[in-house]
Amino acid sequence: MPNSRIELESEAHEKHREAGEILAQVREEAADRVEVGAGHLAVAEFAEDRIRELGGEPAFPVNVSIDEEAAHATPSADDESTFGEEMINLDIGVHVDGWLADTAITVDLSGHDDLAKAPAEALEAAIDLVEPGVETGELGAAIEETIEGYGFNPVVNLSGHGLGHWDQHTEPSVPNRAVSQSTTLEAGDVVAIEPFATDGSGKVTEGSDEEIFALEREGSVRDRGAREALAQITEEFRTLPFATRWLDTSRPEMALRRLKSQGFVHGYPVLNEDDGTLVSQKEHTVIVTEEGCEVTTR
Alpha helices in 79-238 (DSSP H): 113-127, 136-149, 224-232
Among 68, 69, 102, 108, the one annotated catalytic: 102
At CA 32, angle to CA 38 and CA 176, rounded to 5?
100
10 Å Cβ neighbour count for 151? 11
261 and 149 inside one domain:
no
- Residue 1: which pLDDT band, with cuts at 50, 70 and 90? very low
User: Which CATH number belongs to the domain containing residue 223 in this structure?
Assistant: 1.10.10.10
- Residue 6: which pLDDT band, with cuts at 50, 70 and 90? low
80 and 16 inside one domain:
yes
Q: How many domains does the chain have?
A: 2
- Is there a contact between 195 and 147 (Cβ–Cβ < 8 Å)? yes
138 and 254 inside one domain:
no
**169 appears as a binding residue in the annotation:** yes
89 and 236 inside one domain:
no
Cα 150–chain centre separation: 24
Among 48, 68, 91, 144, the one annotated catalytic: 91
Rounded distance, CA 138 to CA 293, Å? 15
DSSP 184: B
CA-closest candidate to residue 89, choices 67, 65, 73? 65
110 and 246 inside one domain:
no
Among 138, 194, 211, 273, the one annotated catalytic: 194
State the average pLDDT over residues 135-148. Answer: 98
- Is there a contact between 186 and 134 (Cβ–Cβ < 8 Å)? no
Has 169 been annotated as catalytic? yes
In which domain, by residue range, is 229 found? 212-268
131 and 30 inside one domain:
yes
Has 102 been annotated as catalytic? yes
Residue 181 has pLDDT above 60, yes or no: yes
Mean per-residue pLDDT of the chain: 96
91 and 189 inside one domain:
yes
261 and 285 inside one domain:
no
Model pLDDT, residue 7: 59
Has 40 been annotated as catalytic? no
Model pLDDT, residue 10: 86
User: Which CATH number belongs to the domain containing residue 166 in this structure?
Assistant: 3.90.230.10
